[in-house]
Each structure stands twice: as structure tokens, then as C-alpha cells.
């Protein structure tokens, strides 16, 4: 990314047909802390990395509750994410008050995408520098959407955004075929393993990650740190047991017979 004569405002097209200000906003998403979402038929799990800038400060919140059936995880400018989550909350309240039923997830995502698109077409505005993973459950089932600063939106089985998210995407691509029939605990396990992939060898603890769940007869809520830490420890114990069994099998296997000359 570099400055040029076509990136002074968001409405100026380059000769290659690009809007650089929009691309810069998408780059801001890549620089943010990693956020991950995955879903089964009945549950959706969101997870995020939430490291503090200093030992003296608290971390920035990356997962927000929108309604009992919808929540979002963000990567990019946290201030923009906070404003958009407040907008989503307001839309859900207005719909519920008018129609006395929960707002369908797909309709909310379209409204959010329209709001982001307006900022790509007004010279006195700037695009939102945040990507949102919208997790929700409605009459048509479980949904996971990604909303981009460009105004585009996509539905996913599992997805990761933010810095070093490619490692998490690789993990999710290897495992996603089993997600639809996975239990709640298995989805949380996969989310934690995907978060671990983004840490580049750093030890995963409950203090640097947030996990939230929404599902059938389970309103959207963020898991407390104690529960997350117990899950992390149980997964680590299982990994060690599997590694020990593999080592024992290798020790028991007989050496191959030398070839006849």
C-alpha cells in the first residue's frame, strides 16, 4: 500500500478500476486482532484474540451482543465496530417493537452492508475500518456472515479475519466438513484451536481470548474466563495423551528386517 494521486478521497476511481480508500479500510481489518466464527446446524461460536496494549491497561472488547439471537465479533478499528454494533442493536429493538418477533439475521446483515456501502459513495465520508462476523439463529437455522468495509457480505460455514488469520483459515478448511454435525463443545474446541493457530507459538490462555456462543434454546452470551480456561486445559491434556500413545506405539513397533543381499 502506498499513496498516489487516486487515493485522496473515496469517490475517485483509479485507471485500473480501484477505489484505494476502500482497499485501505480492508487493510485495516487485516491489521486488527484475529476473530473467528464457525457454525453447526444448531450452534454458532465466535472467538477473538483480545490482548492488551500494556500490562497496565485492560483489553478492548471485540465481541458484542446485539440481541438474544445475534452477536458480532470484530477485527479492525474497535471504535467503528462499537458504533456499528450499537446500530445493529437499535435495528433489532425497532423491528422487535414493530413486529413483535426477532429480526431475521439475513435482513440485518443486508441493512449493515447498505450502511457500509453508503460510505464508499460519499466524498465527505470514509469507509468503516472494521470487519464484522455476524452470528445469529433464526427460523431458517444458524447463520454466520462476514461484512466487509466495501459493503459486500458473504455467508460462511466458518471464517477468520484479522492479523495472522490465514493460519486459522487453513485449520478451519481442514476441519469444516465435520462442523455441521458437531456438538457445542466440539465447536468451542475447534474455535480455540483456530485461535491458537493465530498466536504463532504463544501459549493460549483465557486471558487473551474471548469465546461467545449462541444456539437453539441458548441466548447469545460470552463464556466466562474460568470456563474457557478449563476447556483449554482439558484439550491440552487430551493432546498430551494422544502424543504419549503415539510415542508408545512407535517404541513397540519392531524394527524392519534387513534386506537380503
pTM: predicted TM-score of the whole model, two decimal places: 0.88
Gap between the Cα atoms of 33 and 66, Å rounded: 20
Nearest Cα to Cα of residue 10 among 99, 121, 116: 121
Gap between the Cα atoms of 180 and 171, Å rounded: 16
Tens of pLDDT, residue by residue over 218-246, are: 999 999 999 999 989 887 766 655 555 55
Series of mean pLDDT values for 10-residue runs along the chain (261 residues): 76 91 94 95 95 79 95 96 96 96 96 96 93 96 96 96 94 93 93 92 88 95 93 75 52 49 35
Q: What is the DSSP string of 1-58?
A: ----TT-SSTTPPPTTS--HHHHHHHHHHHHSPPEEEEE-SSEEEEEEE---SSTTSP
Tens of pLDDT, residue by residue over 66-91, are: 999 999 999 999 999 999 999 999 99
The helix/strand/coil state of 115 is helix
Domain 20-241, CATH? 3.60.20.10
Q: Which residues contact 94 (CB under 8 A, 6 or more apart)?
A: none
Amino acid at each position: 500500500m502506498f499513496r498516489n494521486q487516486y487515493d485522496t478521497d473515496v469517490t475517485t476511481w483509479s485507471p485500473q478500476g480501484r477505489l484505494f480508500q476502500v482497499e485501505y479500510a480492508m487493510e485495516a481489518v487485516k491489521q486488527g486482532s484475529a476473530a473467528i466464527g464457525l457454525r453447526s446446524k444448531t450452534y454458532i461460536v465466535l472467538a477473538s484474540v483480545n490482548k492488551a496494549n500494556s500490562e497496565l491497561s485492560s483489553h478492548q472488547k471485540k465481541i458484542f451482543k446485539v440481541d438474544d439471537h445475534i452477536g458480532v465479533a470484530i477485527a479492525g478499528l474497535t471504535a467503528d465496530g462499537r458504533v456499528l454494533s450499537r446500530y445493529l442493536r437499535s435495528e433489532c429493538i425497532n423491528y422487535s417493537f414493530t413486529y413483535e418477533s426477532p429480526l431475521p439475521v439475513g435482513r440485518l446483515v443486508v441493512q449493515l452492508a447498505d450502511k457500509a456501502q453508503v460510505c464508499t459513495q460519499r466524498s465527505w465520508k470514509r469507509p468503516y475500518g472494521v470487519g464484522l462476523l455476524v452470528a445469529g439463529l433464526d427460523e431458517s437455522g444458524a447463520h454466520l456472515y462476514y461484512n466487509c468495509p466495501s459493503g459486500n457480505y458473504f455467508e460462511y460455514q466458518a471464517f477468520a479475519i484479522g492479523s495472522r488469520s490465514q493460519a486459522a483459515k487453513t485449520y478451519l478448511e481442514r476441519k469444516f466438513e465435520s462442523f455441521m454435525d458437531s456438538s457445542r463443545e466440539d465447536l468451542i474446541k475447534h474455535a480455540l484451536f483456530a485461535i491458537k493457530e493465530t498466536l504463532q507459538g504463544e501459549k493460549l490462555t483465557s486471558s487473551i481470548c474471548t469465546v461467545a456462543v449462541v444456539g437453539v434454546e441458548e441466548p447469545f452470551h460470552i463464556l466466562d474466563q474460568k470456563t474457557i480456561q478449563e476447556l483449554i486445559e482439558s484439550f491440552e491434556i487430551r493432546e498430551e495423551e494422544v502424543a504419549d500413545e503415539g510415542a508408545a506405539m512407535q517404541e513397540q513397533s519392531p524394527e524392519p528386517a534387513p534386506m537380503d543381499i
